[in-house]
Structure 1
Amino acid sequence: MLLLALFLPLFFAGPASAVSWYFLRYYAPSGASFTAFTGQMVVPTLPRAATYYLWPGLQPTDGSGVYQNVLDGRSGTWWFGSGWCCSNPNLPWGSGFNTYAGETNTFSNMRNSDGKNWTTSITRGSNGSPVTNSFPLGTKSFNQAIFAIELYDATWTFGALTFKNVKIVATGSTDTAWCTKSPENYNTASKYAINGAKATVNGNTVTCSIDSVVLQGPK
């Protein structure tokens, strides 16, 4: 199976749309799953109204969808929101907000202690009020953490996409190699830079802290 086949598009853009994918992917070690994914995302310039989807996200072992915080450029103004795409279960999209080039928005996706739900919180810039939603995804075992650019009939002309102060938490193993080695670069399609990756271990939980993940441009 092609790796791309594990992805479901954020929205169905129609059969005539040509999709381009650029993404970096971290895999949890065998027997472990991701239980938190947090960080900041710097908003790039939006060249025009088009189907740009830029996102960090988590994908489960069953390939049933992706849990993501999406910067959406279809209206001509960036919109940032969170949700699960696209079925199994079929869930309503969460709340969000308009955002603009140069702003640094925060995202936080955490599995609740009850094991039933995940709570997502996103905040615009340094002064925005958090927008919080809950998703019943506790039964999903997330083993992939992804930094993605998903384009439909559009090209990567908006410059670098930067994530900062990233933390990815994996529970169920003490293996730290997944954090400090290079992630998968899908089809070697992206130029990228990762700075300050380090891992700490507490019991059977590994916290991967990364100063910055930068998708610099297409190769």
Structure 2
Amino acid sequence: MAFPFIALFVCAIFSLSVGAADWYTVEWDAPQFTALSGDMVIPKLPNPGGTPYVWPALQSNNGVLQAVCDGRSGTWWIGDGFYGTPSLPWGNGFNVNPGDTVHFTFTSSGDDWTATLSSNGKSASTKLTIPGSTMNRAIFAAELTGIPYNFGPTIYRNVKITATTAASGWCGKILHLGNYPFTVTGNVASGNTCNIASITQNSA
């Protein structure tokens, strides 16, 4: 099931204003990420109207690999996919409710990525071949069009981000977009992995 997600790299490279999305992110950069996993607590739904997406992702210079929680229909649906070049069919997913915890993973073997989701007995797995794509940014985002970030919070727990380089060089360097409240706790480097106890977005 494909969705027209406007990824950060598209806005940055092409300066597009399509959809006029507002971005609220927490981010880490490294030369190359090879895996991302964690538990996402599904936030409350915003008031009807607008387009709310919240997602964890790995991004390269030509696309973004996402587990997108989509609330456009008035309920949340979460699914995996890659938005960018090459253009790939959207992956698998399922409906979730506010308060549900979804475990997500992205793992790589060369150009091949496996994305998995699981929650309350539901599961989905998507395999994607993404050639020539070096994932160098880990992003936790709210991508909102026509709606304020007045819902949530969006909470991630037990997050692990793995790179090809020592996490001590990047785990403590937290970037963000948007003027909004967020907290990151327990980010600790261990070998090539940054272990993060929790990320809370829109934490007011």
TM-score, normalised relative to structure 2: 0.87
Stretches of structure 1 that go unaligned for 5 or more consecutive residues are 10-14
Total equivalences in the alignment: 194
Displacement of 1:163: 0.5
CA contact (8 A) 2:183 2:201 kept: yes
Change (3 A) 1:50 1:209: same
CA distance in 1, matches of 2:7, 2:39: 28
Q: Is residue 18 of structure 1 aligned with residue 20 of structure 2?
A: yes
CA distance in 1, matches of 2:57, 2:107: 12
Partner residue, 1:12: none
CA distance in 2, matches of 1:167, 1:5: 22
Displacement of 1:217: 4.8
Stretches of structure 2 that go unaligned for 5 or more consecutive residues are 1-5, 12-16
CA RMSD of aligned residues (A): 2.2
- Runs of 4+ aligned residues of structure 1 deviating over 4 Å after TM superposition are none
Q: Please tell me the residue identity of whatever aligns with 1:214.
A: T
Displacement of 1:139: 3.2
Partner residue, 2:37: 38
CA contact (8 A) 2:183 2:203 kept: no
Displacement of 1:17: 3.9
Partner residue, 1:93: 90
CA offsets 1:7-66 (integer angstroms, 9 cap, x no match): 337xxxxx77432111111001xxx31000000111111122531110011111xx2121
TM-score, normalised relative to structure 1: 0.82
Partner residue, 1:80: 78
Change (3 A) 1:158 1:140: same
Partner residue, 1:55: 55
CA contact (8 A) 2:106 2:113 kept: yes
Q: Is residue 196 of structure 1 aligned with residue 186 of structure 2?
A: yes
Q: Is residue 165 of structure 1 aligned with residue 163 of structure 2?
A: no
CA distance in 2, matches of 1:50, 1:5: 17
* Larger Rg belongs to: 1
CA distance in 2, matches of 1:182, 1:209: 13
